[in-house]
């Protein structure tokens, strides 16, 4: 127990978490500090291409086997199923409208790349290894939750008529695009395949860019995340303590689901921690645009705020070491 | 210089809806448009702007110069496309020199 | 389609004054605005644009669709806020379809 | 508040032509302009936008508030400058409060 | 022969070419993946400053002699002369309008920095050395072709009257600026001179930025190039198979001209390969803007598409190893 | 003396100064070379976060003691007091309006991060150590001068009535924000605290990003500064030789004040050089926006041009080695 606390404290004092805190505090103090939008998008692209590539190189060592294939299937299933649980919890404990609840649920089935990446660096700093295909699992968990979200919203719509934009064929095309060739999915999967194909030779060639500065770039990105989360928190009216509470307990529920799945798949402690993180984290890049298109009546103020301003900080500051502690205790 | 009366329709809408709206414009047979990305703003659905990372909260503006008739059609069908959504449409008079260009 | 007459007020001003101007717009009770950042231009105070690193020389535009009355009030008080400063305000007629939205 | 009638000329043109057009505006003795960079759009010459790396396919908009006479002159000579080129010009009525500023 | 094929296959499986392919495929699948324009311009600036600097440092080892001076002159001549050949081929084999043909010709006399840079990294990975002043030759080849393009267009204009904007003195000034102080020329030449002046001392100071991450940055830039080329291809109507064919055979013609020149100059195998690449590649940064200004009637849909969407991918994927094979066979 | 000159010449031939010169010359030649605004803001953010972090790590070695606390106080005092001197000199030697003189004075009390950073790299290249808390002193010198500038402008206003915007409560809030939570102050102080907290462990984690490429990034940023300074110089009409002269002698006055303060604080030669640089340099990031808000009648054409186009180049090219020579002579 003392160990868990010291590890958690160690997490709090990494440059990553401290830069996140810096951004968060700066925005609370109404500083005009601002990272240009093009820069934060550029940093995100770097992080996604790089983590994909790193995972692929790792898999090129371990090789692709049945257990990897099963893991990928399991990841899709986890992303698809979690929203139903989330929707049930939201409808049971809050007064949230159907459409908004469905959209929020979709976010929690999907994942947050930056939370994942922060967790991998945390594991690296603790010297805990993890399987390379976790990265591919992450990529595949990005969008199945969108489908569940649509099913949930449609179910609501058939009851109270309307609010869904899926009937317009143009709109359906847009939504399908978001599900299958979303930019972040393409980058993660593409980077992964390139890392897998080129292996160590590829890492030798581009490691000085793809690997060495990774942690530092992550710091800058977390600074931006801190600013964004904090500003979102100030602008938001979540409307009710049970909604806010959902943003804090749902990650724990998702992490638990991830740990169960990890147990079924026989992952290592590091891998189990990361799958817990995937279960626990909520999307704020891929899913919001799909929900804006497909479920216009859902309130983006609620789902963006929950994912970005409540669950993301919770996971980065508290969640990650807790999931590691749980994984160590269960599988260590 | 002789000038001709046209309408300038301006549509302010959320970034994810830009492509569907351009699709509608195309379908109506309007010959052109201009798009301004990365705007922020405030309206009945609250403050918007690129404050998140998904672009879901960003605004864009589409400007269309066209005939009176087309402008009315665009306004009507554009508003329908924006039902339940964030966004505004308005139009005004402009004069152009090359009647056939619009 | 029935349309309603409104005014479109456009304010071009220096970036550091955007927040005070939005504050004024809010205070007047106008229901919405749209902001276009990163413009350049030239006027009586010379050339302006993001040629320095401070943003002090950058321009922005604020667009407000509102009633005739509010537009006049905004123009008057906006000009007062810009006294001794760089910036221009002008307005024009527009038609909207949803009267109550503005 | 007393207001004065002016014209708002809007020019949408390809990025490489911005400087020549600003040169023309200067030559005409117009006192100011505002420039919006990085637009995309579609017209008779097809889709345009910063999809290449040269900027040759990007659009920009120049806004000029000026007197009726100057506006007509700008429209005429601006269109001449754009002969054989991509780009549109149109104008509309605006009201300003400071007559002498424009 | 088997060797050539294995080298070519080796080229296909580098991270660089794979990232290009990723971008290309993503855009064909209509993914919304997008690199912010400011980022791709920033990456281009980095690549140009860095390749210039690297070339200058190399020249500081070799020293500036008569052969270097001759090479620079030859480069200018090559860029100036190639458009006449290209124009002749276009007019003989296609129905392209005079102005458009002249503009296309100008693009093929000029060069593509990214193709060159990809080729240098390919040579580096094969352990094949090349002369530092090739970089200066590249810089000088950027714009003489613009002059030839104008001469060709003017020749057309005198026959069918109009279509040229050169009479307006304001416009002439703009075009001259594009020729002499074009941003990419300034960066390449400036970086080269700084590398030459500061030599190894300079490289020690800034190598961790200018050299180490170079290959990785190139990957990200090629991702963007893949997106851009692919989207351009989808938007284009080149109007005729012979136009498309020109985009594929003209690089071979240009490469041959480059190899002849290399033989005259007595370059190494690596140097000859790079000069072939310079001959083969077509500009899509410096020349298009000049052509928009000076030859408004020329169709940018044709010249940007040919240079960016046909010739660039051809060179990066197939051309570079072929030119190396040819240079090895001729001079090796 | 010969030594000073050779060191100064050495400064002139570093990649940093040469890239600055490249930008300067390119803009004088009316090149269209342009660094996208988002990129230059991104580079500035990197430089500030990184220099803050580096300083903090250094302080974690030396420890925080009374002398550090005194130094911080002294820094605030220096920034607060210098504007009064500058205002006096301006009013005594030029015809500048009160408001503009007050605004210019505020700029010279504040500091230029890039000048400071260029000086630290110059010291590093000469192998001259300096105290880590100099970075904290820099951060604290950013904004006290704004207060002095306001006092000076108000004093003028009370005499000739008006021109100050401080009475509007909304505006006062904006100005206070600029003083206390200005973006660059937050980044520098925040980076410093993070470096201090995480120490060598933090540097190990993120040094490959925060430290290694620093000098190269600085080169690119100085290229942009050269472009900006040069374009500003061409656009400006400073109106009188004594105004221009102020931009050249005021840095010497400020440097002298810095050296006196360094003597009182017992700083090392390196530290004294840097405090001279802080005294000598003028703000062009934090102060201009505050002055636009609070002193609208002051002419930004004058204060931005003086700080950016006269004093900045003077310090980077000539000032820094001179201040080092003076510090060596006085304390060496
Ligand atoms: N009265 C208005 N004037 C100008 N822009 C407006 C106005 N109302 C709304 N907008 C713009 O339209 C977007 C959507 O408005 P709404 O649907 O009312 O939330 C806002 O974010 C603004 O950019
Ligand atoms: N006549 C005009 N037409 C369009 N924009 C103008 C005009 N005059 C001024 N502006 C814009 O308003 C800004 C401030 O103008 P000024 O206060 O006259 O220096 C300029 O930088 C331009 O962006
Ligand atoms: N009808 C229109 N409405 C709005 N913008 C237009 C229209 N037609 C053309 N444009 C803009 O003007 C640019 C050049 O048009 P064009 O010369 O017709 O190809 C286009 O790329 C659009 O940005
Ligand atoms: Na999840
Ligand atoms: Na060529
Ligand atoms: Na100072």
* E303, E291 contact by CB (below 8 A): yes
pLDDT band at A162 (very low <50, low <70, confident <90, very high): very low
Residue F293, classified by CB atoms within 10 Å of its CB into exposed (0-12), middle (13-18) or buried (19+), is buried
- Read off the pLDDT of residues E219-248 as tens digits, 9 standing for 90 and up: 999 999 999 999 999 888 777 899 999 999
**β-pair type (B59-66, C4-14):** unpaired
Token match 């000069």: residue?
E275
Looking from the CA of residue C86, the nearest atom of ligand 2 is: 17
Residue A325 has pLDDT above 90, yes or no: yes
Whether F198 and chain A come into contact, CB under 8 Å, resolves to yes
Give the pLDDT band of residue F161 (cuts 50, 70, 90). very low
What pLDDT is stored for residue F235 in this prediction?
84
Tokens of E281: 């590649």
Extract the tokens encoding A322. Answer: 């807790």
Pocket test for ligand 3, best of D10, D11, D12, D89 (most atoms within 8 A of CB): D12
pLDDT in tens, F239-266: 788 999 999 999 999 999 999 999 999 9
* DSSP state letters, D7-51: EEEEEEEEGGGHHHHHHHHHHHT---EEEEEEEEEEETTEEESTT
- Evaluate whether C66 touches C55 at the Cβ level (below 8 Å): no
Q: Is the pLDDT of residue E314 over 90?
A: yes
- Contact at 8 Å (CB) between E242 and E90? no
> Which residue of C11, C42, C82 to mutate against D (max D Cβ within 10 Å)?
C42
CA closest to F42 among chain A residues:
A39
Distance from CA of F211 to the nearest CA of C (A): 23
Question: With bands split at pLDDT 50, 70 and 90, how would you rate the model's confidence at F219?
Answer: very high
Could you give the CA distance from residue C52 to residue A30 in angstroms, rounded to a whole number? 23
pLDDT at E165: 57
Give the chain C residue nearest B36 (alpha carbons).
C36
Write the DSSP assignment of E97-156 as a string of letters.
-HHHHHHHHHHHHS--HHHHHHHHHHHHHHT----THHHHHHHHHSSHHHHHHHHHHHHH
Chain E residues interacting with chain D (CB cutoff of 8 angstroms): 37, 40-41, 44, 162-163, 168, 170-171, 174, 228, 231-232, 235, 284-289, 291-293, 296-297, 300-301, 304, 308
Nearest to C56 among F228, F297, F304 (CB): F304
- D15 CB under 6 A from ligand 3? no
Q: Which of F137, F144, F142 is nearest to F58 (CA)?
A: F137
β-strands B59-66, B4-14 pairing: antiparallel
CB of C49 within 6 A of ligand 2: the answer is no
Dmax (CA) for chain E in angstroms is 58
Instruction: For residues A46 and A122, give the distance between their C-alpha atoms in angstroms, rounded to a whole number.
Output: 19
Question: Backbone dihedral region of B36: left (phi > 0), alpha (psi from -120 to 50 degrees) or beta?
Answer: beta
Ligand 2 nearest atom to the CA of residue D34, by list position:
23
Q: Is C47 on the interface with F (CB under 8 A)?
A: yes
**Could you read off the pLDDT of F194-209 as tens digits, one per residue?**
999 999 999 999 999 9
Instruction: Extract the tokens encoding B42.
Output: 């405030």
Q: Residue E277's pLDDT is what?
A: 98
The ligand 1 atom at the shortest distance from the C-alpha of residue B88 is 12
CA A86/CA A302 separation, integer angstroms = 14
- Closest listed residue to residue E184, CA positions, set E129, E117, E279: E117
> Quick one: pLDDT band at residue F331, thresholds 50, 70, 90?
confident
A109: closest CA among A309, A291, A282? A282
CATH number at residue B32: 3.30.70.120
Helix, strand and coil percent figures for chain D, each rounded to 5: 30, 40, 25
What's the rounded Cα separation, in Å, for the pair F115 and F254? Answer: 14
Confidence of residue D1 (pLDDT cuts 50, 70, 90): confident
pLDDT one-digit tens code per residue, D63-99:
999 999 999 999 999 999 999 999 999 999 999 999 9
Q: Measured at the alpha carbon of residue E87, what is the angle toward residues E86 and E93, in degrees to the nearest 5?
A: 90
Write down the residue that tokens 């700083």 correspond to.
Answer: F267
pLDDT tens-digit series, residues A246-296:
999 999 999 999 999 999 999 999 999 999 999 999 998 889 999 999 999
Alpha carbons E312 and E280: distance in angstroms, whole number: 9
Q: How confident is the model at residue F116 (pLDDT cuts 50, 70, 90)?
A: very high
What would the pLDDT profile of B46-101 be if each residue is shown by its tens digit? Answer: 999 877 778 888 999 999 999 999 999 999 999 999 999 999 999 999 999 999 99
CA E262/CA E266 separation, integer angstroms? 6
pLDDT at A237: 77
Q: Which two tokens stand for residue F61?
A: 């070695």
- Smallest Cβ–Cβ distance between A26 and the set F181, F198, F202 belongs to F181
What pLDDT, on the 0 to 100 scale, is given for residue C49?
A: 87
Is the distance from the beta carbon of residue C44 to the nearest atom of ligand 2 less than 6 Å?
yes
Out of C8, C26, C33, mutate this one to test ligand 1's pocket (max ligand atoms within 8 Å of CB): namely C33
Conformation bin of residue A41: beta by default, left when phi > 0, alpha when psi is -120 to 50: alpha
CA-nearest of D89, D71, D88, D9 to C92 is: D9
What pLDDT, on the 0 to 100 scale, is given for residue A155? 81
Number of Cβ within 10 Å of residue C31's Cβ equals: 17
Q: Which residues pair with B8 in a beta bridge?
A: B65, B92
Distance from Cα B62 to the centre of ligand 3, integer Å: 11
Contacts of E220 in chain D (CB under 8 A): none
Q: How many separate domains does chain B show?
A: 1
Computed over every residue of chain F, the mean pLDDT equals 92
Copy the structure tokens of residue E257. Answer: 């001209």
E/C touch flag: 3 or more CB pairs below 8 Å? no
Our answer on whether D and B touch (3+ beta-carbon pairs < 8 Å) is yes
Select from F90, F79, F224 the least CA-distant residue to F139.
F79
Rounded to the nearest angstrom, the distance between the alpha carbon of A78 and the centre of ligand 4 is 8
On whether the CB atoms of residues E288 and E107 are closer than 8 A, the answer is yes
In percent, how much of chain E has pLDDT > 70? 96
On the question of pLDDT at A160 being above 80, the answer is no
Count of other CB atoms within 10 angstroms of residue E204: 12
User: What is the spatial distance between Cα B50 and Cα A228, in angstroms, rounded to a whole number?
Assistant: 10
User: Does the structure show a pLDDT above 60 at A159?
Assistant: no
- Pick from A281-295, E146-160, F100-114, F144-158 the range whose average pLDDT is largest: F100-114
| Averaged pLDDT, D32-56 | 89
Residues in chain E closer than 8 A to A194 (CB atoms): 15, 18-19, 22
Ligand 2: which atom is nearest the Cα of residue C88? 12
Burial of E66 (0-12, 13-18, 19+ CB in 10 A): exposed
- Band of pLDDT at residue A165, cut at 50, 70 and 90: low
CB under 6 Å to ligand 1: residues?
B 12, 41-45, 48, 59, 86-88; C 31-34, 63-66, 102
Question: pLDDT band at residue E191, thresholds of 50, 70 and 90?
Answer: very high
Cβ neighbours of residue E318 closer than 8 Å, sequence gap 6 or more: E8
- Pull the structure tokens for residue A31: 């500083």
**Is the dihedral angle over the CA atoms A121, A124, A129, A132 positive or is it negative?**
positive
For residues A171 and A293, the answer to whether their CB atoms sit within 8 Å is: yes
Tell me if D12 and B1 make a contact (CB, 8 A cut-off). no
From E173, E171, E185, select the one nearest E296 (Cα to Cα): E171
Contact A31, A223 (CB under 8 A): no
CB-CB: which of E163, E285, E291 is closest to D53? E285
Q: Are E47 and E221 in contact (CB under 8 A)?
A: yes
Q: Are A257 and A279 in contact (CB under 8 A)?
A: yes
CA distance to partner chain F, nearest, from residue A322 (Å): 21
B14, C58, C80, C82 from C9: Cα distances, Å: 21, 20, 15, 15
Distance linking the first and last C-alpha atoms of chain C: 17
Residues of chain B contacting C, Cβ within 8 Å: 10, 12, 36, 38-44, 49, 59, 61, 72, 75-76, 79, 88-93
Question: Contact partners of C by the rule of 3+ C-beta pairs under 8 A?
Answer: B, D, F
Nearest to A148 by CA among A211, A81, A95: A81
Q: List pLDDT tens digits, range C52-73.
A: 778 788 999 999 999 999 999 9
Residue F165 is predicted with a pLDDT of: 57
CA E15, chain centre distance (Å): 21
> Which spans in chain C are helix H?
18-28, 68-81
Read off the pLDDT band of E159 (50, 70, 90): low
**CATH class for the region spanning E2-27+35-331:** mainly alpha
Among candidates A251, A315, A313, which has minimal Cα distance to A25?
A313
Pairwise CA distance, residues F318 & F12, whole Å:
8
Q: Which positions in chain C touch D97 (Cβ < 8 Å)?
A: 75-76, 79, 89
Measured CA distances, B74 to C22, C34, D47, E236 (Å): 30, 21, 20, 28
Nearest atom, ligand 3, residue B101 CA = 18
Q: In whole angstroms, give the CA distance from residue E205 to residue E209.
A: 9
Residue E193 has pLDDT above 70, yes or no: yes
Q: What is the reported pLDDT for E54? A: 96
Q: Which residue on chain F is closest to A34 by alpha carbon?
A: F183
Give, as one character, the DSSP assignment of residue F164: -
Q: How far apart are CA F121 and CA F114, in angstroms?
A: 11
Q: What are phi and psi of A299, to 5 degrees?
A: -85, 110
Distance CA E102, CA E146 (A): 10
Residue F162: predicted pLDDT: 47
D interface with B, Cβ–Cβ below 8 Å: 10, 12, 36, 38-44, 49, 59, 61, 72, 75-76, 79, 88-93
Query: 3-state SS string over A102-125?
Result: HHHHHHHHCCCHHHHHHHHHHHHH
Task: Work out the average pLDDT over E30-53.
Answer: 95
Residue F157 pLDDT grade (very low, low, confident, very high; cuts 50, 70, 90): low
Report the 10 Å Cβ neighbour count for D51: 17
3-state secondary structure of C13: strand
**For range A305-321, the mean pLDDT:** 96
pLDDT of residue A11: 79
Q: What angle in degrees, to the nearest 10, is found between the helix axes of A113-126 and A214-235?
A: 130
pLDDT at E162: 47
Which of the four pLDDT bands, split at 50, 70 and 90, describes residue F217?
very high
The pLDDT of F173-178, averaged and rounded, is: 86
Q: How far is CA A111 from the centre of its chain?
A: 3
Residue A241: CB atoms within 10 Å: 9
Q: State how far the Cα of A15 lies from the Cα of F78, in Å rounded to an integer.
A: 31
* Residue D48 phi, psi (nearest 5): -135, 160
Best of D92, D97, D99, D102 to disrupt the C interface (most C CBs within 10 Å) is D97
pLDDT of residue C12: 98
Chain A CB contacts of E213 under 8 Å are 208-209, 212-213
Ligand 3 centroid distance, CA of D22 (Å): 19
Residues on chain C touching B61 (C-beta within 8 angstroms): 34, 36
Geometric angle at alpha carbon F190, from F185 and F196, rounded to 5°: 130
pLDDT 10s digits, A117-156: 999 999 999 999 999 999 999 999 999 999 999 999 988 6
Interface probe for C, chosen from F27, F37, F225 (most Cβ of C below 10 Å), is F37
Task: Give pLDDT, residue A161.
Answer: 46
Residue B83 with chain A: CB contacts under 8 Å: 296
Give me E194's structure tokens: 């700084």
């Amino acid at each position: 127990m003392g160990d868990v606390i010291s590890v958690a404290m160690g997490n709090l004092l990494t440059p990553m978490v401290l830069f996140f805190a810096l951004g968060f505090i700066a925005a609370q103090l109404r500083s005009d500090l601002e990272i240009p939008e093009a820069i934060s998008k550029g940093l995100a692209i770097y992080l996604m291409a790089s983590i994909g590539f790193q995972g692929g190189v790792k898999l090129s060592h371990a090789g692709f086997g049945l257990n990897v294939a099963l893991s990928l299937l399991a990841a899709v299933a986890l992303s698809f199923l979690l929203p139903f649980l989330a929707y049930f919890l939201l409808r049971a404990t809050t007064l949230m409208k159907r459409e908004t609840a469905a959209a929020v649920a979709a976010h929690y089935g999907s994942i947050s790349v930056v939370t994942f990446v922060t967790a991998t660096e945390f594991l690296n700093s603790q010297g805990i290894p993890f399987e390379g295909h976790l990265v591919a699992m992450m990529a595949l968990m990005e969008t199945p939750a969108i489908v569940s979200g649509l099913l949930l919203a449609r179910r609501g719509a058939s009851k109270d008529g309307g609010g869904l934009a899926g009937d317009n064929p143009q709109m359906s095309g847009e939504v399908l695009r978001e599900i299958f060739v979303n930019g972040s999915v393409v980058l993660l999967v593409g980077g992964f395949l390139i890392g897998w194909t080129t292996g160590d030779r590829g890492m030798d060639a581009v490691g000085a860019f793809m690997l060495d500065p990774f942690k530092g770039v992550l710091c800058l990105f977390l600074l931006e995340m801190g600013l964004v989360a904090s500003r979102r928190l100030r602008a938001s009216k979540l409307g009710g303590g049970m909604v806010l509470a959902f943003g804090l307990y749902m990650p724990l529920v998702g992490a638990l689901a991830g740990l169960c799945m990890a147990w079924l798949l026989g992952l290592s402690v590091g891998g189990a921690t990361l799958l817990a993180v995937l279960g626990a984290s909520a999307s704020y890049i891929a899913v919001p645009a799909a929900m804006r298109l497909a479920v216009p009546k859902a309130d983006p103020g609620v789902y963006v705020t929950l994912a970005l301003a409540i669950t993301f900080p919770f996971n980065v500051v508290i969640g990650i070491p807790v999931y590691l502690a749980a994984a160590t205790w269960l599988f260590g | 210089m002789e000038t001709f009366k046209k309408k300038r329709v301006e549509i302010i809408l959320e970034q994810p809806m830009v492509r569907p709206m351009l699709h509608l414009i195309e379908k109506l047979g309007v010959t052109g448009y201009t798009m301004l990305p990365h705007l922020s703003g405030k309206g009945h659905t609250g403050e918007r702007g690129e404050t998140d990372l998904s672009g879901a909260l960003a605004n864009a503006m589409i400007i269309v110069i066209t005939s009176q008739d087309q402008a009315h059609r665009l306004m009507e069908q554009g508003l329908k496309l924006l039902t339940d959504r964030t966004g505004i449409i308005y139009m005004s008079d402009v004069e152009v020199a090359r009647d056939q260009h619009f």
